[in-house]
Amino acid sequence: ATPTALLVGTGRGAQLGILIKGPEVLESTRKVDTIVLDKTGTVTTGRMTLLDAVAADGVERAELLRLAGALEDASEHPIAQAVAKGAVAETGPLPVPESFANVEGKGVQGVVDGHAVLVGRTSLLEDWSLALPEDLAEAKATAESQGRTAVAVAWDGEARGVLVVADAVKPTSAEAIAEFKRLGLTPVLLTGDNRAAAEQVAAEVGIEEVVAEVMPADKVDVVARLQSEGKVVAMVGDGVNDAAALAKADLGLAMGTGTDVAIEAADLTLVRGDLRAAADAIRLSRRTLGTIK
Ligand code: ADP
Ligand code: MG
């Protein structure tokens, strides 16, 4: 490959809204046959809204929103921002937590107004030997069967409620995925979210292969497994939890709207966060390298 042609390709990429780390990246782009897509923030907008708050027997809805909202206000996660925003809208300004910690891939924990609070997956509660009572488990299952994401809330050693949030698919995602298929790529949806929510999004955008309920540290293993099957893998992501997988993939693509950690780990950045630019990048690299030889 002549460096000049590669540099021309790089310049054309910039016009298309694709930032390419170096000309050599185009070489691996051309060979890709599988494209792994993170769900939240990549295929979906990542801007969630709080749809419902289900309080356990004897728990006030306002108290549920206040304690969960205060803790979530300290987190950057799209679910957290939806919860905090919904809580403020309904109950007013939130207290500042006395302590806060992120539990990767599971949720958040901390102290609010003297209460030890947890918000996140059921597995986070299980880590503290807490289970959801039947009515809350049922509310959660119903929400998830509708393709929504439901997180559990507990404080002072007891499960207290379930919060339901939902996220919208980006208007450009289905078109981008149809384009990947035309280019001969197999799309795979990869997420830490529950299976029902993942299947719902996959169906909406035309993805047949879904890997759900994956812990952040295990996303990289999914990429490695595909590679061990002989696939040449592109990975598209936006979050801190995608960074290792982006680095491991034969081609890492970060959403320009995503976190710096993801952008640093990737070979390519889709400046506008539009998945269609990933298809443009693959087409460009094939064309650029096709003209060289
Ligand atoms: P994704 O792969 O979709 O970006 P993450 O790995 O960030 O998802 O999170 C996986 C799951 O952990 C979420 O679907 C949610 O159930 C739970 N979770 C993570 N962070 C939070 C949070 N701040 N608040 C509530 N739940 C959370
Ligand atoms: Mg994400």
Domain map (residue ranges) of the chain: 3-45+169-291, 49-166
Residue 3 pLDDT: 58
pLDDT in tens, 118-162: 999 999 999 999 999 999 999 999 998 888 899 999 999 999 999
Q: Where are the alpha helices (DSSP H) in 92-171?
A: 122-127, 134-145
pTM above 0.80, yes or no: no
- Ligand minimally distant from the alpha carbon of residue 41: 2
Query: What are the backbone angles phi and psi of residue 165, rounded to the nearest 5°?
Result: -125, 160
Q: Which of 113-117, 142-146, 194-198 has the highest average model confidence (pLDDT)?
A: 113-117
* DSSP E strand boundaries for the chain: 18-20, 34-38, 49-55, 99-103, 107-112, 115-120, 149-155, 158-166, 186-190, 209-211, 233-237, 251-255, 268-270
> Catalytic residues, which ones?
38
Q: What is the C-alpha to C-alpha distance for residues 273 and 43, in angstroms, rounded to an integer?
A: 10
Best mutation site among 37, 38, 40, 201 for ligand 1, i.e. most ligand atoms within 8 A of its Cβ?
40
Best mutation site among 44, 79, 117, 148 for ligand 1, i.e. most ligand atoms within 8 A of its Cβ?
79
Instruction: Kindly state the tokens that stand for 155.
Output: 């404080």
Which residues make up the environment of ion ligand 2, defined by Cβ < 5 Å?
38, 40-41, 238-239
- CATH number assigned to the domain with residue range 3-45+169-291, chosen from the 4 options 3.40.50.620, 1.10.3720.10, 3.20.19.10, 3.40.50.1000: 3.40.50.1000
Q: Whose CA is nearest to atom 17 of ligand 1?
A: 106
pLDDT in tens, 227-285: 999 999 999 999 999 999 999 999 999 999 999 999 999 999 999 999 999 999 888 88
Q: What is the ipTM of this complex?
A: 0.92
User: Which residues surround ligand 1 with Cβ inside 6 Å?
Assistant: 38-40, 72, 75, 77, 79-80, 105-108, 119-121, 149, 151, 191-193, 216, 239, 241
Instruction: Kindly state the tokens that stand for 101.
Output: 């910690």
Name the class of domain 49-166. Answer: alpha beta
Q: Say yes or no: do domains 3-45+169-291 and 49-166 share a fold.
A: no
Task: Please tell me the distance between residue 7's alpha carbon and the centre of ligand 2 in angstroms.
Answer: 31
Q: What is the C-alpha to C-alpha distance for residues 240 and 96, in angstroms, rounded to an integer?
A: 24
